[in-house]
Amino acid sequence: MLEKTGVPTEQDLAGVIPPRERLARGPVAVIECFQRIPCNPCYTACKQGAIREFADINDPPVIDFDRCNGCALCVSKCPGLAIFVVDETYSADRALVKLPYEFLPVPARGQEVDLLNREGRVVGRGRVERVQNAKVQDRTLIIWVAVPKELSMEVRNIKVGDCQ
């Protein structure tokens, strides 16, 4: 399925989603990189040592969820925009999802946005909590979005305004 549609299957995702008990402890990165390609910026960006060293640079990254603190340094370094941070402890009914973002218009803090799943379909509405734009991010913004908690593992992008 992934090769034909670009959308991972439930089986693909099962291998990269943090366990429930880890999600209950705070922010953690989710790496949805499934193809063997020569790439390792996430490994070199991780100051916590949570992304394991690659035996072969073509291997997909593997994360040690217990070492990850959800800092999101890896998010803007991924050229495939395949890393997200999920914090299910954000509030009683909302999770915080930190997303890489390289589109215009740039959303503003407090703005309501459409939440998109991996297929690009609208699955709900969320609120932008922060737009992180540091020089070290190399023009890839990190958008912090409050989403309904039940969508934390589904939301992977946003749609700002009436953009098509």
Q: Which residue has the higher pLDDT, 2 or 58?
A: 58
Q: What percent of the chain has pLDDT over 90?
A: 84
**pLDDT range class, residue 20, cuts 50, 70, 90:** very high
If you compute the radius of gyration of the chain from its CA atoms, what whole number of angstroms results?
A: 15
Q: What is the pLDDT of residue 9?
A: 86
Q: What is the pLDDT of residue 89?
A: 98
Asked whether 142 and 101 are in contact (CB, 8 A), the reply is: yes
Mean pLDDT value across residues 57-85:
95
DSSP structure class, residue 63: B
Q: Does residue 18 register a pLDDT over 70?
A: yes
